[in-house]
């Protein structure tokens, strides 16, 4: 289960990262938050870092490099 299944797993995780990132931004903005909301913001920050570490660890650049190298080259090169 790596990120090299191009277009599926990484897309879902990126969507999750985006949703959590927006929630984290809201939970840590400079408006008043209850004690529970502050705790949730901290927990969300930890979860977001773990998700990003998981995504980075599973990312295999060779898969993307192979696809890019097979793309047609422009005529002027």
Per-residue pLDDT at 1: 53
Average pLDDT, the chain: 84
The C-alpha atoms of residue 24 and residue 41 are separated, in whole angstroms, by 6
- Compare 20 and 65 and report the one with higher pLDDT: 20
pTM of this prediction?
A: 0.65
- Token pair of 29 as six digits: 């903005």
Q: What confidence tens digit (pLDDT) does each residue in 15-27 have?
A: 999 999 999 999 8
Q: How far is CA 56 from CA 3, 10, 48, 62, in A?
A: 9, 10, 12, 14
């Amino acid at each position: 289960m790596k990120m090299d299944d191009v277009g599926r797993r990484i897309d879902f995780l990126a969507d999750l990262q985006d949703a959590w990132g927006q929630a984290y931004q809201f939970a840590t903005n400079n408006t008043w938050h209850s004690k529970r909301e502050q705790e949730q913001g901290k927990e969300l920050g930890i979860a977001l870092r773990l998700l990003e570490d998981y995504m980075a660890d599973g990312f295999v650049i060779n898969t993307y490099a192979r696809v890019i190298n097979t793309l047609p080259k422009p005529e002027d090169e």
